[in-house]
Amino acid sequence: MLRVQASTFDTRAIICAVAEKSRAGEEVIGFVIQRKEWDKMQDFSRTHTYPPIAAVGVMHICSAFKFVRCDINYMSNRDSAADYEVVVVGGGPAGLQAALYTTRLGHDTALVDRGGGRAAMMLDTHNVIGVTEDTSGNEFLATATEQVESYGGDVIRDLITEVEQTDDGQFYLEGNANAFRADRVVLGVGFSDEHPDPPVPRTGKGLHYCLHCDAYMFVDRPVYVMGAGEAAAHVAMIMLNFTDDVDVLLRGDEPEWSDETDEQLRAHPIDIVEADIDGMNKSDNGWLESFEFEDGSVRQYRGGFAMYGSNYNTALFETLGCELSDDGTVIVDESMETTVEGVYAVGDITDGHNQIPVAMGKGAQAGIDIHYQLREFPRDLETIRTEGAVADTDVPAVSNRLREAAASFEEAQAPPIDTPSPTTDAEAEAIEPTSDDWSPLIPISSRLSVFFMTDWTQSQYHRKQSRRTFLFACAN
C-alpha cells in the first residue's frame, strides 16, 4: 500500500509519479496539497488518463492543507473509513474530557473537532480549579488537545455531517474530510448563543453569556441585561446579588415575560430601558464604557449579559433517533448515554449548568461508562464456560498504538521493562526488524525530487512485521 505525502511543488509532476507507481500494482491512498492548488489539480485530473482525484477535505494537521485521495479503485468513503472503538465529536471541554478518559482507559479513540465553539471564545478562564484566570479558551483547549494526543488519542479537524448505526451495531460517521467506524459515539456538540444585533461590544469585553462565569467581575459595577424574555428578567434580578446598578435593555421590543415575572421584576430596584441602542463607546483596551440610546440618553456600563436563547446542535442526535426534551436538550441517563444504546451526549447539549467543570464531569462519566461496556476483562463466566479460559496471548487487551504511547511516560519506564526473550530461532528472526528500504532520489523537475521509502515495522509484543511504502517530495 502506497501512502503519498508531498508539498505543492509541481503538483502535476507528483500526480504523474503517483500514477506510474500505481501502475506497478501499488494502491495509492493520498497526498497533501495546498488549497490554492486544488482547482489546478482537478482540471489536470479531468484532462489526463491518470487516476481521478476526489477531495476529502481538511486535514487536522493544518487548516491550510487538504488531504486528497487518488481514488484508483473508486472506493467510497465508507470503504476507507477508519476504525476506532470510540469516536468523540466535538472538541470542547466535555468532548476532550471524554476522549481523555477513553484513551487512558485503553480504547482507541478519535476526537473529531470542527474548531471554534463557546469555550474557544473565552478571553479568560474562570471557575476551573488549577487553571489560572489569564488562560484563554484557546490556550485551555490546546493544552487539553495535547494531553489527549500524548496518551495516544487521535485529534482530527473535520466537521461530521452524517452519522448512522449500521446493521452490526457499529456507527458510521462521515465528515468533510474523513470517515469513521466506531463501537461507541460521544457527541459533545453543544449549542450556539443567539447574538444581539449590533452595536454591541466584543464577547468577553462587555458582552457576556454566562452568568455563573462572569457575574463576579461586575461586583459594584453598572450592568445591563439584554432581552425581553423570562431569562432576561430573572438574570437581571440575580445580578442584584453583585451590584446595585442593573438595567434591563429591551432594545425596542415588547416584554415577553409573564405578568407574575413583571410584578416581581418591578418590585426590584432595576431600570427597564425600552429604547434601542443607537451607538456605543469603548475604552482604549476595547472594553465597553457606555451605550447611546435612540431617545438621546447615554448610560454607562462595565458590561452585561445577552439573553436571547440558544440553538442546540441536535441534527446528529435526531438522525440517530435520540430523544430530545422540550427545551431542546438531549435526554441522557446518569451515565450520559442517550435513548439510543451506544450513543452518548456530553456537555452543554444536555440539561444542566453550562459550565466547564460540569461539562468535564459529564465527559468523564461518559468515558468511564464506555470503558465498562467495552473492556475485555474480566471475562464473564458464560463466555469462559463456552470458549475456555483466557489465554496468555489474549492479554493485555490494550492496542499496540496505545501501549507505545504509554511507554513514553516516565512512570511507565521505572522499573525498566525487559523485552521478552525469543524462545526459538524463528522467533528471534521475527523480532529482528528488516532495514528500511530507501529508493534513490528521483528528479521530477528543477524544483522537485521524490523518493520512495519502504518501512518495516514490528511489534516486540506480537512479533509481527508490517510493510508500508511512502512517497516523499522535497524541494531541490
Q: Which residues pair with 171 in a beta bridge?
A: 165, 182
Rounded to whole angstroms, how far apart are CA atoms 25 and 166? 32
Instruction: Tell which wins on pLDDT, 426 or 78.
Output: 78
Q: Which CATH architecture has domain 82-191+310-374?
A: 3-Layer(bba) Sandwich (3.50)
Is residue 195's pLDDT more than 90? Answer: yes
Is residue 325's pLDDT more than 70? Answer: yes
pLDDT on residue 186? 98
Model pTM? 0.72
Domain ranges of the chain: 2-75+429-475, 82-191+310-374, 207-306
Torsion of CA 16, 22, 26, 31, to 10 degrees: 40
Instruction: Tell which wins on pLDDT, 292 or 42.
Output: 292
What mean pLDDT comes out for the span 34-52?
Answer: 42
pLDDT on residue 407? 87
Q: CB neighbours of 12 closer than 8 A, spacing ≥ 6?
A: 40, 41, 44
Q: CB neighbours of 120 closer than 8 A, spacing ≥ 6?
A: 137, 138, 141
Rounded to whole angstroms, how far apart are CA atoms 198 and 206? 13
pLDDT on residue 450? 55
Instruction: Tell which wins on pLDDT, 43 or 202.
Output: 202
Q: Pick the range with the lowest mean pLDDT from 48-57, 106-115, 259-268, 295-304.
A: 48-57
- Distinct helix (H) and strand (E) counts, the chain: 12, 25
pLDDT on residue 322? 98
Rounded to whole angstroms, how far apart are CA atoms 86 and 150? 17
Q: Is 207-306 the same fold as 82-191+310-374? A: yes
Q: What is the share, in percent, of the chain residues with pLDDT greater than 70?
A: 70
pLDDT tens track for 204-237:
999 999 999 999 999 999 999 999 999 999 999 9
pLDDT on residue 120? 83
pLDDT on residue 80? 83
pLDDT band of residue 240 (cuts 50, 70, 90) is very high
CB 121 within 8 A of CB 145: no
Instruction: Tell which wins on pLDDT, 62 or 123.
Output: 123
pLDDT on residue 443? 59
Rounded to whole angstroms, how far apart are CA atoms 218 and 165? 48
Q: Pick the range with the lowest mean pLDDT from 175-189, 210-224, 295-309, 416-430.
A: 416-430
Q: Pick the range with the lowest mean pLDDT from 129-143, 271-285, 383-397, 434-448.
A: 434-448
pLDDT on residue 228? 97
pLDDT on residue 271? 97
Q: Does the domain made of 207-306 have the CATH classification 3.40.50.920? A: no
pLDDT tens track for 280-312:
999 999 999 999 999 999 999 999 999 999 999
Highest mean pLDDT among 17-26, 78-87, 180-189, 455-464: 180-189
φ, ψ (nearest 5 deg) of residue 390: -70, 125
What mean pLDDT comes out for the span 155-172?
Answer: 96
Is residue 387's pLDDT more than 90? Answer: yes
Is residue 135's pLDDT more than 50? Answer: yes
Q: Regarding beta strands 53-58 and 31-34, do their DSSP bridges make them parallel or antiparallel, or are they unpaired?
A: unpaired
Q: Pick the range with the lowest mean pLDDT from 49-63, 246-260, 408-422.
A: 49-63
pLDDT on residue 14? 54
Look over the chain and give the mean of its residue pLDDT values, rounded to a whole number. 80
What mean pLDDT comes out for the span 156-169?
Answer: 96
pLDDT on residue 437? 53
What mean pLDDT comes out for the span 7-28?
Answer: 50
**What are 398's three cell numbers?**
490494550
Is residue 3's pLDDT more than 80? Answer: no
pLDDT band of residue 449 (cuts 50, 70, 90) is low
pLDDT on residue 161? 96
Instruction: Tell which wins on pLDDT, 59 or 280.
Output: 280
pLDDT on residue 177? 85
Q: What is the share, in percent, of the chain residues with pLDDT greater than 90?
A: 64
pLDDT on residue 391? 95
Is residue 68's pLDDT more than 90? Answer: no
Closest among 202, 181, 104 to 147, alpha carbons compared: 104
